Amino acid sequence: MVEVKEVRTKRQLRKFVDFPNKLYADCEQYIPSLYADDLADWNPKRNPAFEYCEAKCYLAYRDKKIVGRIAAILNHRANEKWQTKRMRFSQVDFIADFEVSSALFAAVENYAREKGCTEVHGPLGFCDMDREGMLVEGFEHKSMFITYYNHPYYIDHLTRLGYAKDVDWVERRIEAPDDEKILGMISKTANYVIKRLNLHIADIRRQSQYGKYVMQVFRLLNIAYAPLYSTVELTERQIKRYARKFGPLINPQLTCFVMNEKNEMVAFGIAAPAMEDALKKCRGRLFPLGWYYVLRALHKNDAMDLCLIAVHPKLNGIGVNAIILDHVLKGVREMGIKYAETGPMLETNHKIQAQWKYFKSVQHKRRRCFIKNIEAKPERS
């Protein structure tokens, strides 16, 4: 018999966060997330998203052993913006047993009905900066540290539970270009756009120089990402939180801030040396020795993760992204990086995907947001 309990204590929360590390202990493709960050996500005092979200975490037990987990997030701002009544499910993991997955989703659906929701969708986080999407293609490939990994059987379980595709994201693996003709063309386009629009690249050579640009990055992110699936505007407190979280991983050679004549940011691209192997070795824990692996990965690496890119909507389609690509490619060559992986890109976002047409790349992963209409009458658990 499966029993689902709401997480109410710190000890239970630690078990909730650590469960996937145990479930995927022998899975080469699974990459642990940062344990401390995942704990902080569920602490209302540390996660500003609780200013407009409600959330619950659940653990599934059989014979006193944890066999699954799931979280439910009610994002009031998202529902207001998109005119929906949806509950999000998040951080879901379970053993290959339908009784377990059924019990977990029943808990979320019942909570959703209590809150007046008519649909459940996910996996999604509190906001677009959190991990989202369930892997449906590319199980043989190593996950990124900013994405989920899951077993193929998850899809069968969700389908059986009545969940269907709402939207997909795709990811690409890109080879570092060595074709001088293509590199020259990108550089020529970048220089032309810079002169034509009177733009310039912020001169950043040290981590300490990022501070004055952080707020501009996320304010532009709010504008550029506003039309994308289920996004909500980040608050000032959230911006500061994510800046602290991801800032230390940024490398000046792989990051580009494009400014106009008023020194206002109009575009940016942020990449970082791949952290997957480092996090695998330290199991997502930075102490006591995790920092050593992370710092080594930051300075000696042949792979990078493409984290974020944005162009102000007023400058879309006129080559501004070439400025970012040209700058980052110079860093790629200097650092000896051989390939890059993109984060999840909406399959309908053709503009972002079109920028890889000049590179040797392959779509190697696909992840999905599932959705289900739920009945008004609660089910018995």
**Structure confidence by residue, pLDDT tens digits, 275-326:** 888 888 888 887 777 877 787 877 788 999 998 999 999 998 899 999 999 9
By mean pLDDT, which of 8-17, 203-212, 359-368 is the weakest? 203-212
210 vs 60, which has greater pLDDT? 60
Three-class secondary structure of residue 222 per DSSP:
helix
pLDDT classification of 87: cutoffs 50, 70, 90: very high
Closest CA to 230 of 155, 144, 121, 307: 121
Give residue 377's pLDDT.
55
Number of residues assigned to the chain: 381
Output the pLDDT for position 341: 94
User: What percent of the chain lies above the pLDDT cut of 90?
Assistant: 75
Between the CA of residue 227 and those of 81, 231, 307, 317, what are the distances in Å? 10, 7, 19, 16
Judge whether residue 219 has pLDDT over 50.
yes
pLDDT for the residue numbered 295:
75
Question: In sequence order, what are the residues at sequence separation of 6 or more whose Cβ sits closer than 8 angstroms to the Cβ of residue 78?
Answer: 84, 86, 88, 230, 231, 232
Is the confidence at residue 376, as pLDDT, over 60? no
- Dist. CA 38–CA 168, nearest whole Å: 24
Give, for 214, the enclosing helix (H) or strand (E).
Answer: helix 211-224
Looking at 60-69, 72-81, 94-103, 348-357, which range is the least confident one?
A: 348-357
E strands present in the chain: 3-6, 53-62, 65-75, 86-94, 119-122, 134-137, 164-175, 200-201, 255-259, 265-273, 303-311, 339-342, 345-346, 361-373
Find the mean pLDDT for residues 36-42.
Answer: 94
